[in-house]
Structure 1
Amino acid sequence: MSRIAEGTSKLSKSQKEASPNSPKSRLHHLNIRFQSPADELRIELTRKSLHLLILFCIPLLDISPMLPVFALIAGMLLYSISEILRHRGFDVPIISSITERAARRRDSNHFVWGPITLALGALFSLLIFDPLQAKVAILALGLGDSFSSLIGKSFGRIPMPLSGGKSVEGSVLCFAIVLLAVYLLTGRFMASMIIALATTFAEFWPTKDWDNILIPLAAGIVASFIL
């Protein structure tokens, strides 16, 4: 009887640890089965708030060309280690909880690539383009993608075909915000308009997290020809 009781106790303990409501299991598996529109908006706000942090590369670039490069590489390494540990069942303070709050349904049970592609987009911009063009690319990445997504989720009513669910409202704001930001940086209206068009075109396609690389490269390449 004591062995049966002991076995039952171990089984109960195992089930409790494996419960999807336990923090460790929740962080490890990110088993996201349903998200309401309110959940999706909250997640998008969290994601795009983090997205905007990439703009800190611009003042760092003014201090030293290599400073944002080292910061991005260090950030990618730290995040990758935390994701590997999370998949092995370890809770990394702060980073794992932020990952959980920003995870979308498609991230369920997967390595969350968004922060990596975001850092790579900025890193490629810094390594490929000159400082002004790199700043333009990072502005397009940090502002255009962030605000278009938030407005599209919140107020988007007119869907755009072939875009994977993106809206006209989000794309219009992407164009407007990049136009304004690049114009304030360069003082060149026509060049800013062309760069904003290129950014909006790159943001339009349903490339998932890989738009974090496509958008700054598109903006930077166009900027390299006209600035």
Structure 2
Amino acid sequence: MITAPKNKIIIFDVDGVLFRGHFLLHLSRRLGLLLSIRTFLLCILFNIGKLPFHTFIKRVYRSFRNIPLEQARKVYEEIPLIQNAKETIEILRGHGYLVFLISSGVPDVFVKDLAARVSANNGYGITVGIDNGALTGEIYGQLIMPEGKVNIIESELQHYDLSWHDVIVLVDDRNNSDILQKSNIGIGVNAQYSIRRQADYLIDNNNLSELLDILDIADANTYKALFSGMRKQFEHSWYQEIRRKLLHIIIALVPVFSQYIFITTLSVLFSIVVFYLISEFLRVNGLSFPLLGLVTKSSIRKREERGIAFGPITLILGAAFSILIFPKEIASAVIWIVAFSDAAATLVGKSIGKIRIPYNRQKSVEGSLAALAVAIICGCIFLPIAPALIAAFVACFIESLPLRAADNLLMPVGAGLILLCF
């Protein structure tokens, strides 16, 4: 029996984890539009649970019959890797981790080559039939069978006298649910929703070096040289909060535009909600919506990564309902209050907030007082002093409640409804 290493064994899925994309989709795109569409549709059927994995993978490879192996190899070599893949794996190996690559979609010859490229201990892929240098369309081996990955990992565990308690896996789709559930630490990388809900950690930034932070590996000159300041980049930061609050402040433009192009303003607001929901649906399934997906990924908090972040939706709906329901002055006041006072509460609370609100320990008295001061100023711009004070106090009380994203909707609507009573 081989002596156990001083640390753990790390299993990397290949498609969507080390590869930026999926080998089967890259190859099918190279072979033509119709084949690309067919492969994409098969992927959808598998991802929504309408097609068993072994049926899916056999159908895809059957369509690759007579494709020269060298053509497939060229496609494999051109697939970009996730950022800092090789550097991160070398650091892991230097800390005593065993690193293995496993793929149920990439030919074994390519996975073993990739393992050598990134300095992993070994790699396992599917066995493809080859005749006269071309793919036959047939595939073989454990990895196309149920629990194929489990069996291969258990073989390595036995070899090194380890257990599933020593296993860390990095995966992206439901084909890896079994090894994710058995592992000690499960990490979703640009993961689909089913994986996101189960994973202990998430990596959504296409930079594998975040794994070093998760595993708390920071010894070293190599790490410092390669990833200077990496912790600040991935921890909850001021820059992230500033981006979030800038999005908040933009909503203050709604009353201005609605005075001149009311219908267009409403149409734009509801269109943004629709596109945002599409973007979030793609994000929680490991995909990205152009531009909008980049904005949301850079702004969401860690606790929001596992599901849809509803904050922007409630913010937009709060502004839309306000201009629909309330007179111009009230709508303008409550929208400005939610746009600016919430930003003040967050920035002041995180910088100097020390006294916790008894009914909401996540927020501070200092932050709430800052929000109240800004809310009074915003209210006085559009309203007489008495209704401005009422709107400010109501809105800031709602902001202080443990409502999470719902406060963006309830602040303007609640304050506006109170004002209508006077």
Give the match for residue 411 of structure 2: 215
Q: Which runs of 4+ in 1 moved over 6 A?
A: 12-17, 32-38
Question: How many residue pairs get matched?
Answer: 219
Q: Report what 1:54 is aligned to.
A: 251
CA contact 1:61–1:68 (8 Å) conserved in 2: yes
The equivalent of 2:353 in structure 1 is 156
Alignment correspondent of 1:118: 315
Is 1:195 matched with 2:366?
Answer: no
Q: Deviations over 1:39-90 (max 9, x none)?
A: 2433221111111111110111111332321111011111111222223333
Higher RCO, 1 or 2 (CA under 8 Å, sep at least 6)?
Answer: 1
Native 8 Å contact 1:164 1:205 kept in 2: no
2:176 corresponds to 1:72: no
Q: Which amino acid aligns with 1:31?
A: L
SS of the residue aligned with 2:202?
coil
> TM-score scaled to structure 1, two decimals?
0.83
Q: 1:193 to 1:83 in 2, by over 3 A?
A: same
The residue aligned with 2:402 is: 206
Q: Could you tell me which amino acid in structure 2 is paired with residue 204 of structure 1?
A: S
- 2:342 is aligned, of 132, 135, 145, to 145
Aligned to 2:297: 100
Distance 1:107 1:174 in 2: 23
In 2, the alpha carbon distance for the partners of 1:146 and 1:4 equals 52
Q: Which runs of 5+ in 2 are unaligned?
A: 1-106, 115-122, 127-168, 173-187, 204-212, 215-230
C-alpha separation between the residues in 2 aligned to 1:148 and 1:16? 37
| Structure 1 residues 7 and 65, CA gap change in structure 2 (3 angstroms) | closer
More helix, by proportion: 1
How large is the RMSD of aligned CA atoms in angstroms?
A: 3.1
1:126/1:4 CA distance change after superposition, 3 Å: closer
Please say if residues 27 and 96 of structure 1, whose CA atoms lie closer than 8 Å, have aligned partners that are also in contact. no
Name the one with the larger strand percent: 2
Whether the 8 Å CA contact 1:126–1:134 is kept in 2: the answer is yes
- Residue 349 of structure 2 is aligned to residue 178 of structure 1: no
Instruction: Summarize the Cα distance change of 1:178–1:13 in structure 2 as closer, same or farther, 3 Å threshold.
Output: farther
Alpha carbons of structure 1 residues 4 and 145: separation in structure 2 relative to 1, 3 Å: closer
Task: Give the 3 Å change call, closer, same or farther, for CA 177–38 of structure 1 in structure 2.
Answer: farther
Supply the distance in 1 between the matched residues of 2:322 and 2:329 (Cα, whole angstroms): 10
Amino acid across the alignment from 2:298? R
- Could you tell me how far 1:9 is from its partner in structure 2? 4.9
1:134–1:16 Cα change, 3 Å: same
1:86 corresponds in structure 2 to: 283
Show the counterpart of 2:109. 5
Structure 2: distance between partners of 1:199 and 1:13: 58
TM-fit CA distance, 1:104: 0.8
Q: Does 1:31 align with 2:202?
A: yes
Task: Give the Cα–Cα distance (whole angstroms) in 1 for the partners of residues 191 and 382 of structure 2.
Answer: 41
Contact persistence 1:129–1:220 (CA under 8 A): yes
**Aligned-partner Cα distance in 2 for 1:91–1:203:** 31
- Normalising by structure 2, we get a TM-score of 0.47
2:364 aligned residue: 167
Q: How far apart, CA to CA, are the structure 1 residues paired with 2:108 and 2:291?
A: 41
Bigger Cα displacement from structure 2, 152-161 vs 86-95: 86-95
Q: Is the 8 A contact 1:40 1:104 kept in 2?
A: no
Superimposed CA distance per residue, residues 159-185 of structure 1 (whole angstroms, 9 cap, x where no aligned partner): 111123211111111111111111122
Tell me the CA shift for residue 194 of structure 1. 1.4
Q: Residues 4 and 167 of structure 1: is their aligned pair in 2 closer, same or farther, counting only changes over 3 Å?
A: closer
Is the CA contact 2:353–2:367 (under 8 Å) kept in the aligned structure 1?
yes
Give the deviation of 1:210 after TM superposition: 0.6
